[in-house]
Amino acid sequence: VKLLAFNTLIRPKLEYACVVWDPFTKSNIAHLDNVQRKAIRFIYSKFSPYDSPTELIMQANSIPCLALRRKTARLEFLNLLWNRELAINPSLYLSSSTSRLTRHHHPHSLTPYFARTDLFKFSFFPRTITDWNHSLLPSVIF
């Protein structure tokens, strides 16, 4: 019951619009992770400092970490944009990579953005395109 409450009430608040505001500083990521860790300890009644670490509890119960869920959400949104399933013209923001194919690039690689500042470097498009190009995307997507 507690896990269901966490999944329906708390996690959506932690992940609301995470495609847009996904934090990149360690302190902001730590604040979000602390909320999830406290919730996991409450759900499984592991309040003692001698209990197993929260990460082990999460792995044992197949609860993904928030950073992985945010990255997956960003890649899914980019896939929807790339496949024109949204009412946004992708050609304004995305272009196919013109470099030749190697074992490190898949045929759906995108041209990365150049960023001088961290503010832009870790915003949605530069960060997600880098993840898109470096990930092993399943062929089911295409």
Digit-coded pLDDT (tens) for 80-132: 999 999 999 999 999 888 777 776 677 788 889 999 999 999 999 999 999 99
Show Cβ contacts of residue 78 under 8 Å, excluding neighbours closer than 6 positions: 94, 128, 129, 132
Please give the angle made by the CA atoms of 50, 52 and 56, to the nearest 5 degrees.
Answer: 165
- Crossing angle of helices 66-82 and 124-134, in 10° steps, is 90
Q: Is the pLDDT of residue 50 over 90?
A: no
- pTM of the predicted protein model: 0.83
Burial 105-136 (b: 16+ CB within 10 A, else e): ebeebbeebeeeeeeeeebebebbbbebbeee
Which pLDDT score is estimated for 135? 79
